[in-house]
Amino acid sequence: MKKGKGSRSLGSKESSGRPSSSVLVSKECARLADSSGSAGIQQDGKKQMPERDDSLDAKESAGMERESISNRPLNDEPLKDEPNQSECTGISTIPAIDKLRRFCFIGSTDEPVYARPALDLVVENNFATLKELCSQVSENELVECLVSVLGIGPNTEHLPRPDEPLLILAVFFATCEDEKKRNSVRNRFTDLVTSESDLLLFVQLVKRVQKVLERKTPFNRTVRKAVLNWYGHEGD
């Protein structure tokens, strides 16, 4: 009888020292719930990362589009209200003979010269332009233009100074390669140079033109003949 009691008492002690099955089950459920919650948070974090990457990619692509738009060249098409460039060029174009006539009066083909520069500077600054203009006009146009601003007559005091017209003549004699044109203008030389002072000025201009062209002789054959004919005409 004592042994039976003892065995029951031991059994009761062992049963009281171990946790019940319901407690174990509840703890296991709680542990599983915690692990599933943390896994869900990690999965949510992983899902959120690609969304951030997508947003960054979208911002970068938008920035690249803005740069491409800013670097894109502007459209060169003229506006409807603006006149066509070819029309403006045609309207503003001045004939070569008119530019030469303008040079005779204001000392420039584009803008007037208010301060008279030295003779060397006048030749050097205008030689290339005058050479191009003389090549674009005929010998008759050139002679008529120079006769209108040179010579003697009742309107002499209203004519421009002879420096610029005689420079045009000197450039023509020095640069024209057509002998027929040179001789045609040379035959009118006495109508263009009407005084000894004009002849002296013309000779000085020819020398400076020859210097610009880096030629050794001060005169070419056409100028020499023109000067000799002038003196022969004056002697008659």
What tokens does 130 get? 């005058």
Position 235, amino acid: G
d(CA 87, CA 114): 32
What tokens does 24 get? 């174990």
**Which residues have C-beta within 8 Å of that of residue 225, sequence separation ≥ 6?**
186
CA nearest neighbour of 195 among 231, 146, 222, 144: 231
Domain regions of the chain by residue span: 27-72, 94-235
What tokens does 51 get? 């969304």
Phi, psi of 189 (to 5 degrees): -60, -40
Nearest-10 Cα torsion for 119, 122, 123, 128:
180
Q: What is the pTM of this model?
A: 0.59
In sign, the C-alpha dihedral spanning 92, 165, 183, 217 is negative
Q: Is 21 left (phi over 0), alpha (psi -120 to 50) or beta?
A: alpha
C-alpha separations of 181 from 74, 149, 187, 229 in Å: 50, 20, 10, 17
Average per-residue pLDDT for the chain: 74
**Contact criterion met (CB below 8 Å) for 151 and 192:** yes
Tens-place pLDDT, residues 33-65: 555 555 554 555 444 454 445 555 555 666 666
* Structure confidence at residue 144 (pLDDT): 93
Average pLDDT over residues 205-214: 94
Tens-place pLDDT, residues 106-115: 888 776 666 6
